Amino acid sequence: MPEVDGIDLALQARKLCPQTRILLMSGDPTSETIRQRQQCEGCMFEIMAKPFGARQLLDRIKGIVH
């Protein structure tokens, strides 16, 4: 995504569909930049640390959906 990053995309999606559940995937899930940008926009997203396997991803999605 050369013109927009994942956080920007998530924020836009949240504005268009406030009920959408969003899971961000990051190599540095404790990144202060991610947290600061979320707080500025008033949105908090789930963050999953990379690397992870398919099973971990499916388990996390199931946990968010239920």
Average pLDDT of the chain?
81
Long-range contacts of residues 33-40, Cβ cutoff 8 Å, at least 24 apart: 34/7, 37/7, 37/11, 38/7
Confidence class for position 8, pLDDT limits 50, 70, 90: confident
Report the percent of the chain where pLDDT is more than 90. 17
Q: What is the pLDDT of residues 28-59, one digit of tens each?
A: 766 677 777 767 677 777 888 889 999 999 99
- End-to-end CA, the chain: 30
* 24 pLDDT tier (thresholds 50, 70, 90): confident
Residue 64, pLDDT above cutoff 80: no
